[in-house]
Amino acid sequence: MFRRIVLGLVLSVPGLALAQPAPRAPSDYRETAAVLEHYPDVPGVRLDSPAFRASDPTLTNQEAVLDFLTALAGDSHKVRLGSIGRSIQGRDIPVLYLTAEGLDDPVAIGKLGRPVVWLIGQQHGNEPAGGEAMLALASALAKGELAPLLDRVSVVIVPRANVDGAANDRRVLASGADPNRNHLLLSEPEIAALHRAMRSLPPDVVFDHHEFSVAWRWLEKFGGLQASDVMILEATNPIIPTALTDIEHELYRPAIEKAIKAHGLAPHDYVTTGVDPADKRVSLGGTGADIARNTFGLRGAVSYLIETRGVGIGLQSYQRRVATHYLLAKAVLETTAADPAGLLKRLAEARKAATADRSDLIVSYKEGERHIELPLIDPQIGAAKPTKVRLVDSRDIRPVAVRARPLGYLVVRDGDAVAERLALNEVGGCRAPKAVSLPVEAYAVTRLAARTNRESINPEQTLRAEVKATTIDVPAGALYVPMAQPAAGIVAAALEPDSSASYLGAGVVALGAGESEAPIYRVMSGTAAPCRLP
């Protein structure tokens, strides 16, 4: 019934890879007229946003975003404009709460009992179409065609999660970190701010809006441009219960595809390809627990990555790109609004299934590979150039090594830092009320040389661990994090030392230079739990 949690990954780690400034993506690749002919404006879509107020679309700057949102909140009682915080360079990160009642208190919005949909734009600063579409969508919800949906759905929009990146046309944050690989570690102020806002109004559905490169390695490796208008992928971490993935596959994906195909737009699964020009394989987006798409899935929300055809081509085909995000988000909201009670019931069942899961954790695995035909387009004449490629499939996980799932984890050092981060991802813990001697499993860990590779979907692991049974003296106040909770996958991903998103590997939990036993222990028997969740 369940697949298992992926801990160990073939490729490698977030926290340590963050400090380097990333190279800018190649920009302003000029598509030929013959190619552009295939990507005309989408007719019949009203996009009320700053970019489309002039005859030729323009990039919207931070000031224009704030002016637009302020005016919108002034015009419509359904919109409340807030801020989740400030970026490293001091820019405000706006958030919009959209409800029929015009509530701005997240707790009061939660009490409405409607599904809560979070829409995130522009985590990557050089992917503007998703951010622009969020503005048009907010307008349509506030005073346009989508306003009636607010009787059945509550919507939260963060149009630009990476305001500094947007201002500087860079993928990454001002720190150089990739925001989309920071959703477990939460070391970056922008991403921690996003999760603080989500903590007070947890999502039932999250769509994360990006853009993908059109030319780049596709041209280099395969001699073609990416042809699809939009790439789509649900959370693909195998601990996620099938009950949740079924909602995505049965309800959302068909509705999204139908909506955009009706406008002549072509969807595809999200794929990427590695840096080595000789490696002609293509990978489905990976299983890393720290990728937004997967983190939100591990929390028990319907979670998707959406990418339009846009990185590196400036504002070419911009109306089409923004319209694609708009139409897709519209379909998401309509699908959610069609049967809110039914959706919430299925989500509750999926979260219950995650809580009750006792299956093994996957320590290492191989991904299945198969051939697919990738829709590319000839860069000169614009003719279709379907290309047979080998796909590494993150939906097809084949475990190599597994480890029994514990009842919970004891963290005897740096418990505050761990508890604080986990709480932002809807994970609860408790404190041992008194010192006690407990049977546990300890980890013997070995540190591996860290390799950094910005483009890795799953960053390189830095630790290897082996477990052995022992008895330890647990100090009073030690943190205990049980696995019997809906976000169990977050717990294992953060606390198993050899996970790709490991808090020990990233230094949230310190490991001394000569130390080989981790200050994190596995509680394997029910009677040994030192405390229970309230």
Cα 102 to chain centroid distance, Å, stands at 27
Q: How far is the CB of 123 from Zn ion (least distance, A)?
A: 6
| Residue 464 near residue 520, CB atoms below 8 Å | no
Indicate the burial class of 476 (C-beta count within 10 angstroms; 0-12, 13-18, 19 or more).
exposed
The region of 120-128, 142-150, 191-199, 447-455 touching Zn ion under the rule CB under 5 A is: 120-128
Q: How far is the CB of 131 from Zn ion (least distance, A)?
A: 11
d(CA 374, CA 354): 34
Q: How far is the CB of 127 from Zn ion (least distance, A)?
A: 5
The region of 118-126, 184-192, 349-357, 518-526 touching Zn ion under the rule CB under 5 A is: 118-126
Q: Determine, following the binding rule CB under 5 A, whether residue 210 of this chain makes contact with Zn ion.
A: yes
Minimum CB distance to Zn ion smaller for 165 or for 224: 165
Q: How far is the CB of 258 from Zn ion (least distance, A)?
A: 25
* Bridge partners, 102 (sequence order): none
Exposure letters 247-275 (e unless 16+ CB within 10 A, then b) = bbeebbbebbbebbeeeebebbbbbbbbe
Minimum CB distance to Zn ion smaller for 124 or for 268: 124
The region of 130-138, 207-215, 290-298, 481-489 touching Zn ion under the rule CB under 5 A is: 207-215
Minimum CB distance to Zn ion smaller for 142 or for 157: 157
Residues 395-454 that bind Zn ion (CB under 5 A): none
What value, to the nearest 5°, has the Cα angle with vertex 388 and ends 386 and 392? 125
Minimum CB distance to Zn ion smaller for 160 or for 351: 160
Strands 225-226 and 92-98: unpaired
Minimum CB distance to Zn ion smaller for 118 or for 503: 118
# residues contacting Zn ion (CB under 5 A): 3
The region of 203-211, 219-227, 363-371, 459-467 touching Zn ion under the rule CB under 5 A is: 203-211
CA distances from 189 to 112, 216, 340 (A): 30, 30, 33
Run of H or E residues at 403: strand 387-403
Q: How far is the CB of 155 from Zn ion (least distance, A)?
A: 22
Run of H or E residues at 352: helix 340-356
The region of 202-210, 220-228, 248-256, 409-417 touching Zn ion under the rule CB under 5 A is: 202-210
d(CA 175, CA 181): 13
| Residue 143 near residue 153, CB atoms below 8 Å | no
CA distances from 411 to 429, 480, 481, 511 (A): 10, 6, 8, 12
Q: How far is the CB of 311 from Zn ion (least distance, A)?
A: 8
SS3 479: strand
The region of 122-130, 237-245, 456-464, 495-503 touching Zn ion under the rule CB under 5 A is: 122-130
The region of 127-135, 191-199, 241-249, 335-343 touching Zn ion under the rule CB under 5 A is: 127-135
Minimum CB distance to Zn ion smaller for 213 or for 317: 213
Which residues touch 359 (CB under 8 Å, ≥6 apart)? 2, 3, 4, 5, 405
Token pair recorded at residue 341: 């009670």
Minimum CB distance to Zn ion smaller for 125 or for 202: 125
Minimum CB distance to Zn ion smaller for 127 or for 188: 127
Q: How far is the CB of 225 from Zn ion (least distance, A)?
A: 18
SS3 462: coil
Minimum CB distance to Zn ion smaller for 170 or for 403: 170
Q: How far is the CB of 66 from Zn ion (least distance, A)?
A: 23
Minimum CB distance to Zn ion smaller for 242 or for 453: 453
The residue among 199, 158, 212 whose CA lies nearest residue 296 is 199
Minimum CB distance to Zn ion smaller for 210 or for 330: 210
Q: How far is the CB of 129 from Zn ion (least distance, A)?
A: 11
Q: How far is the CB of 316 from Zn ion (least distance, A)?
A: 18
Q: How far is the CB of 307 from Zn ion (least distance, A)?
A: 7
d(CA 321, CA 315): 9
The region of 150-158, 208-216, 282-290, 453-461 touching Zn ion under the rule CB under 5 A is: 208-216
Task: Count CB neighbours of 235 within 10 A.
Answer: 28
Run of H or E residues at 196: helix 189-200
| Residues in contact with Zn ion by the rule CB under 5 A | 124, 127, 210
